[in-house]
Structure 1
């Protein structure tokens, strides 16, 4: 996990796919040489013929830099600042998740709609 990637976004991602739902998420990854790169990931659960989740599939695209600079990076910085207020990383993740939910609620959108509108 890249240190600029809020834990709460990974929580949201895993909550979605473990519930059988797809998700689009902006993710900053760390490369082997220590550099980083951004992707817009589309992650979906893979299911067997009975509908049971047997794995996950991810397609990644190069994101729009303007969206990163004007929306995603500032949002992630706020979420990371909230996470940093807590000595326990799990508490920080939950606090930043609650913060994200609050931001979305104030905008009267669900996460999926928020991402789709960008």
Structure 2
């Protein structure tokens, strides 16, 4: 599966009554995608299953947000996050994601489950996208990707520390404002 897709700049949309659903194993490989996921992403189920969820990662999405997301769910907690995704043809789409660990009968994490709803365009334009552009710019200032990730992670950590909030609490307050 190629990740060298030319970005079109075109945005895709889904209905407010629709939910994008996907499930992954512990390594982030897709084990389930609903019809809305497949339609918006432009992939077939066969193209998705077994592939890393990062298949739909948009290159303008800061890596530190994904690090925060994965650290949270791997630690056994749920998280809410605004995410910019990329479809197979290079279009993009925003989602308001709720990601949670899935557990087996003994309570052990055996995968992850994500429900995504329509993201509020005013929150994206006024808060999320400006923040993400700053984080991405910080990541790109560094020639070493690891250093860039560390710098942007530090940047978002300081922002959240100043506000005395976890990331999903920050998103919840933004949503409620």
TM over 0.5: yes
Offset of 1:88 from its aligned partner?
1.1
Q: What's the Cα RMSD here? A: 0.8
The correspondence of residues 1-118 of structure 1 with structure 2, limited to 5 A, is: 1-118=57-174
Where does the alignment leave 5 or more consecutive residues of structure 1 unmatched?
A: none
CA offsets 1:48-90 (integer angstroms, 9 cap, x no match): 1211110111000011000000000000000001101111112
Q: Secondary structure of 2:64's partner?
A: helix
Moved over 3 A (4+): none
Higher helix share: 1
